[in-house]
Amino acid sequence: MQDAKLGGTPNFYRAFLLALFGTYIFFNLGPIFWIIISSLKSRADLFAMPPKWIFDIDSTGYESVFGVGAARGTASAYGVTDSLINSVIVSSSGTFLAVLLGTLGGYVCSRFDFRGKGDFLFFVLSTRMLPPVAVLVFYHLMFARLGLADTKTGLVIVAIFANVGLATWIMKGFFDGVPKQVEQIAVVSGYSRMYAFVYLVLPMVRGGIAATAGFCFIFAWNEFAFASILTTTQAKTLPVKISAASGATGIEWTQIMSAGVVLIIPVLIFFYLIRKHLLMGMTFGILGRS
């Protein structure tokens, strides 16, 4: 249909548009290709001009990220491995708790009418809009007072706060897709609402829970602003550690590139799994409800 519509346009015009489209695809995919290539280069090859397209694969960067090989016990003194572990712990427990709370909240908002529901949902939406630095001015003071500064517990709390809104909105959308008759039949048959929720409705939104978890994990995993201010040594996450590799002594590009790829890989795996729900996840469930 669309092809037929463009049938009348001159050839050079179509070729021009095609070239623009091609340029954008190159612009879009090139950098990802380039970071993967660069992460496999040796320090000398990284700075070669003109850039080297053929080079010997060098794994020093990755060795220093995981503290293996030549970097065993040495340059991993940068503590990249520790920060990787911190990242895994903080984002997975943050995701688990945010999805748990979001599932409960989303269910209630989908099934019940209660006073202040609109206000609650708007309040939840505000977590998407808030500039992190604004609340950070206060968290910084509060976390120090409560002994949460530079702890993984503190970061998990932040991860819950940052993702529970998203989880609530998306899960509400998935619950809206389950017919209300499910609970009605259950209640009529003598089961409690709680039973209906746990044993009938929850299994029906398993896919939705997985997608929600995928989004929360990606956002928690990438989170930088909060972690950079609220951690100093012990609880640094991988993004913070990467930014610390640019210091007074210059930028450790080999390490940044490899750590960057290590940070990207889980994101791409989760991204692939949730690609069908992208519209919903990226707009906080405003659009793309199924």
Cβ 57 to other proteins shortest distance, Å: 18
Shortest CB 73 distance to other proteins, Å: 26
Q: How far is the CB of 278 from other proteins (least distance, A)?
A: 6
* Residue 71 or 256 having the CB closest to other proteins: 256
Q: Tell the residue number behind the tokens 């550690």, with chain if given.
A: 241
Is 150 buried (19+), middle (13-18) or exposed (0-12) by CB count in 10 A?
A: middle
Give 77 or 133: the residue with its C-beta nearer to other proteins.
133
Gap between the Cα atoms of 159 and 157, Å rounded: 5
User: Residue 234 is encoded by which pair of tokens?
Assistant: 């012990």
- Give the nearer residue to other proteins in terms of CB position, either 181 or 249: 181
| Rounded-to-5 percentages of helix, strand, coil across the chain | 75, 0, 25
Interatomic CA distance for residues 125 and 137, integer angstroms: 21
Tell me the three state secondary structure of residue 189. Answer: coil
CB 188 → other proteins: shortest distance, Å? 6
Q: Smallest distance from the beta carbon of 68 to other proteins, in angstroms?
A: 22
63 in Cβ contact with 70 (< 8 Å) = yes
Nearer to other proteins, 76 or 284 (CB): 284
Q: Which is nearer to other proteins, 23 or 72 (CB)?
A: 23
